[in-house]
Amino acid sequence: MNVKIIGFTPKPEKLPAMAAKLTHSKSKPEDLNKSSDKELKGILEHVMSLGHTSVIEHTSFSFAISDVSRSLTHQLVRHRIASYAQQSQRYVNLNEPNYVTPPKIAKNKEMKKAYDATMENIWKEYNKLLDLDIPMEDSRYVLPNATCTNIIVTMNARSLLNFFELRCCQHAQWEIRQLANKMLKEVKLVAPTIFKNAGPTCKSKGICPESKKDCPLYPK
Ligand SMILES: Cc1cc2nc3c(=O)[nH]c(=O)nc-3n(C[C@H](O)[C@H](O)[C@H](O)COP(=O)(O)OP(=O)(O)OC[C@H]3O[C@@H](n4cnc5c(N)ncnc54)[C@H](O)[C@@H]3O)c2cc1C
């Protein structure tokens, strides 16, 4: 799995802070730019602590995500407050086997052997269909959830906070959790105030809606 930020709103923390200041100011929006960085940082910290997160919708991040499974992206695109562009299985010939192996399968030699053989067989059948002039859009029906794919996602910071609460949680599926943690690590580097407490709700809010007391992160 590869995850990289490929674009974000310039001044990702200054802009939401200016938006927050605007709500309590007689100044025109364009003059808020003159506020000191220290004042704006303080305002942003304050609104974040209050949970008034609508202002961080002004900041967005775009991620390039590659070599993840279609299982992962099926879950990812359920997050509606986002924009996506995904490699097409109608227009891209995926004739070479390229798939994700879950770690629990990878660590068992026998299982891994059977898994790889199944994948090889699936791709053999896929290529057979293509050879019979079945279009890619139909041949792809035999491809598995494990098939590798590439996707670009853009989310605003508020939507990302929701995404991290749901998908950094120990109860999220391992692959999308891995993705969420990598995305969180990246955004923290460019917007540390916004994402200071980001993560599963046990971190962001000190609560566990799952009520799973056996979880190592369960709030004490
Ligand atoms: C551990 C886990 C297990 C899951 N299991 C399943 C499952 O078995 N089956 C399944 O179908 N899904 C499952 N999901 C997906 C889940 O139900 C959500 O669809 C997904 O997490 C997207 O979350 P979201 O709606 O908060 O995000 P977004 O779509 O990005 O929405 C963000 C927020 O905007 C608001 N919003 C967005 N659209 C609307 C709307 N139309 N009306 C009102 N408010 C809206 C809501 O407040 C929402 O929280 C699972 C998710 C997790 C984390």
Nearest CA to ligand 1 atom 34: 81
Residues 20 and 67 in one domain: yes
Is residue 211 in a domain? no
Ligand 1 atom showing the smallest separation from residue 81 Cα: 30
- In this structure, are residues 201 and 16 in contact, taking their beta carbons and an 8 Å threshold? no
83-86 and 2-8 as β-strands: parallel, antiparallel, unpaired?
unpaired
Residues 160 and 76 in one domain: yes
pLDDT at 60: 98
Nearest CA to ligand 1 atom 47: 162
Q: Which domain holds residue 130?
A: 94-142
Is residue 214 in a domain? no
Is residue 110 in a domain? yes
Give the separation between CA 220 and CA 218, rounded to whole angstroms: 6
Residues 16 and 122 in one domain: no
- In this structure, are residues 215 and 208 in contact, taking their beta carbons and an 8 Å threshold? yes
Is residue 129 in a domain? yes
- In this structure, are residues 163 and 79 in contact, taking their beta carbons and an 8 Å threshold? yes
Nearest CA to ligand 1 atom 30: 79
- How many residues are present in the chain? 220
Is residue 213 in a domain? no
Residues 43 and 109 in one domain: no
pLDDT at 220: 63
Give the separation between CA 214 and CA 47, rounded to whole angstroms: 33
Please list the pLDDT of the chain residue by residue as tens digits (220 residues): 999 999 999 999 999 999 999 998 888 888 888 889 999 999 999 999 999 999 999 999 999 999 999 999 999 999 999 999 999 999 999 999 999 999 999 999 999 999 999 999 999 999 999 999 999 999 999 999 999 999 999 999 999 999 999 999 999 999 999 999 999 999 999 999 999 999 999 999 888 888 776 777 766 6
**From residue 68, how far is each of 54, 65, 164 by CA, in Å?**
31, 7, 18
pLDDT at 74: 98
162 lines ligand 1 (CB under 6 A): yes
59 lines ligand 1 (CB under 6 A): no
Closest CA to 105 of 161, 53, 159, 146: 146
Residues 62 and 165 in one domain: yes
The answer to whether residue 140 is catalytic is no
Ligand 1 atom showing the smallest separation from residue 172 Cα: 1
Residues 75 and 136 in one domain: no
Is residue 210 in a domain? no
Residues 154 and 184 in one domain: yes
Residues 18 and 77 in one domain: yes
Residues 77 and 186 in one domain: yes
pLDDT in tens, 141-158: 999 999 999 999 999 999
Residues 116 and 166 in one domain: no
170 lines ligand 1 (CB under 6 A): no
Give the separation between CA 25 and CA 151, rounded to whole angstroms: 41
Is residue 35 in a domain? yes
Residues 76 and 170 in one domain: yes
Closest CA to 154 of 48, 216, 63, 18: 63
Backbone φ/ψ region at 133: left (φ over 0), alpha (ψ -120 to 50), beta: left
CATH number of the domain at 46, please.
Answer: 3.30.1360.170
77 lines ligand 1 (CB under 6 A): no
> 0.75 cut: is pTM over it?
yes
Residues 42 and 130 in one domain: no
77 φ, ψ (degrees, to nearest 5):
-75, -5
First-to-last alpha carbon distance for the chain, in angstroms, is 33
How many separate domains does the chain show? 2
